Amino acid sequence: MVPCNDPIAQTQGQAGEDADAQLQTEQKELYESARTCLVDYGTTFHKNIIVRAEGLYIYTLTNHKMLDWTSGQMSCLLGHGNPEIVDVISHYAANLDHLFSGMLSPPVINLAKRLTGLTPPGLDKAIFLSTGGESNEFAIRIAKLHTGKFEIVALSASWHGVTGAAIAAQYHSGRAGYGPVIPGNFALPAPNAYRSIFRHPDGTYDWETELSYGFSLIDRQSCGSLAAVIVEPILSSAGMHPLPPGYLKALKKHCEARGMLLIVDEAQTAIGRAGDMFAFQHHPEDEGVVPDILTLSKTLGNGIALSAAVISDAVAEKTTKDGFMYYTTHLNDPLPAAVGDKVLEIVERDGLVEQSRELGKIFHKGLLRLKERYGCIGDVRGRGLMAGVEIVTDRVTKTPGLELGNRIGERLADLGVWAQLGTLQSFAGVFRIAPPITITKEELEEGLEIMEQAFATTEGSMPLY
């Protein structure tokens, strides 16, 4: 059994080749141990064992350093091991970690006050849970009780979690082979300006017709019990597709016409990630649109398991009278709540929303420059420090370049940037990139330079000049 300590520290002072050989051996042993004792849960494990994460970087067992351009699982908004977050965790782990779910503590109340002070009127009361799937489960459950209906509409390339109601409302992956999902779920066409077949005569994306057509099909399938729509402002797991300007306003009108609630899932897009405190507030064309329920996770906890749902006073009042129940072991736990409160404090104090917006301009300009140079990049999209780079083998046919993307991704990792390539059908071979928003201009440019090297030295990237 390989001991659980720092193998890099153990080899310090040894001769270079001997130390490298020992680390390679230990990595192989750990990987083999993982194959024998870890459940395969639908992913291919990265070839390198990670032993340290600090700031913007992760370090492999063999002491290879990589810029973490996925912020862990799109979560470490303020970087790994942020000193202020570490201090909060240490203090509350020692003094106020976990309580009976019916008890209150100052961190929970403080986080609720700070969060609802940032959300617009109509998002008035918060609850704190553990994962994004759990917060979406809450949102769907309370929407059903509030409306007295049970049908849920989502987008056809969505990801909202793997719990019962959440996975029934997602279509990205994970539906086949498990028998029936919770009944009453329907899919709207996921907005995809790059690939959608809905086009105006001039070739531009006709999302209005696509959305209306989608609802016409849902109206034919519904038994008259439409309760809610759940959407992400940027469809991250679908390949980083932003909702078009005006889409949320049109969607809200469709909801109101059918007596439905609008749930916005901002697991990955909130707290400055996409250049706004909340991504649903971005487009002037959507001004005034407030979701009935907002769900948060990932970025709120900076890698600690913390999620939230925020609802209106009206929804809260009615469902309380109707006896709403949602009781979990880690509901409103003080330690993660204290972390979330500190995350919001730092983001506000340090102007990180504005920083994400401004550095995002440099980031996307650099990615578009790569698109000009390499024909394998079919599309670049996203906002703020959140981007999708779609790899194709032919720009005319838009054939997904999955094998090519994998080779580019491996080259990127070897050169020192970790960026995830999605290979499932609804990804279509897209690098999802989301570095911590504490990144500096110099670190951003370093990563872009490494990306340039990776594309330049990978066969098949189709240099254009």
Catalytic residue positions?
159, 232, 265, 268, 298, 432
Rg (CA), the chain: 23
Report how far residue 265's alpha carbon sits from residue 274's, in angstroms, rounded to the nearest whole number: 14
Q: What SS3 class is residue 235? A: strand
Contact 346, 84 (CB under 8 A): yes
**Ramachandran bin of 416, using left for φ above 0, alpha for ψ from -120 to 50, beta for the remaining angles:** left
Report how far residue 78's alpha carbon sits from residue 426's, in angstroms, rounded to the nearest whole number: 29
Contact 195, 226 (CB under 8 A): no
**Ramachandran bin of 240, using left for φ above 0, alpha for ψ from -120 to 50, beta for the remaining angles:** left
Q: What SS3 class is residue 226? A: strand
Q: Which two tokens stand for residue 104?
A: 């209150």
Written in H, E and C, the secondary structure of 264-332 is: EECCCCCCCCCCCCCHHHCCHHHCCCCCCEEEECHHHCCCCCCEEEEECHHHHHHHHHCCCCCCCCCCC
Closest CA to 231 of 250, 217, 216: 250
Report how far residue 275's alpha carbon sits from residue 262's, in angstroms, rounded to the nearest whole number: 22
- Tokens 């599309």 belong to residue: 379
Encode 379-406: b = buried (16+ Cβ within 10 Å), e = exposed: bbbbbbbbbbbbbbbeeeeeebbbebbe
Bridge pairing between strands 417-418 and 420-422: unpaired
Contact 78, 343 (CB under 8 A): yes
Closest CA to 258 of 221, 204, 293, 300: 221
Closest CA to 153 of 82, 84, 225: 225
Closest CA to 403 of 389, 388, 423, 420: 423
Q: Which two tokens stand for residue 348?
A: 């506000």
